[in-house]
Amino acid sequence: MASKEKAARLEQKVHWEKKLNQRLSLLADKGAGSEKISKDTTVRQLRAKMRETDKRLRAIEEKEKRLEKMAKIKAEKLAVPKKEKGKKGKTSKDQPADSKRQQKKKKKKEKKEEKESPDKD
């Protein structure tokens, strides 16, 4: 009875509940005490089947939530317009003017020219 469908698992849960209730009523009619009922192997097996079915239902619900979340994220990504890619070569807007090293060289050169130019005047 290993089914991955939620509807099938819900039907199984109803089935196991019905079987458990029948067994409990049968034992109660026989006059068995609560301790004897809890130790009954058939009752224990039916309760185990119920726990297993509940566990699978929780797993199915988690999977559905995860799928909904992923679908929502995908829809949001599709809603955002794509950025246009430029050509491979860098444009002058994208390129920085000079690197730090080049800037230092220019400053040094300017200072050197300033020192030399007042002497010429």
Per-residue model confidence as pLDDT tens digits over 17-56: 999 999 999 998 988 888 888 888 999 999 999 999 999 9
Is residue 1 included in any domain, yes or no?
Answer: no
Range of the domain at 23: 6-79
Asked if 23 contacts 43 with a C-beta cutoff of 8 angstroms, the reply is: yes
Q: Is 16 exposed, middle or buried (0-12, 13-18, 19+ CB in 10 A)?
A: buried
pLDDT confidence of residue 16: 94
| Domain count across the chain | 1
Is residue 88 included in any domain, yes or no?
Answer: no
Stated pTM of the model = 0.57
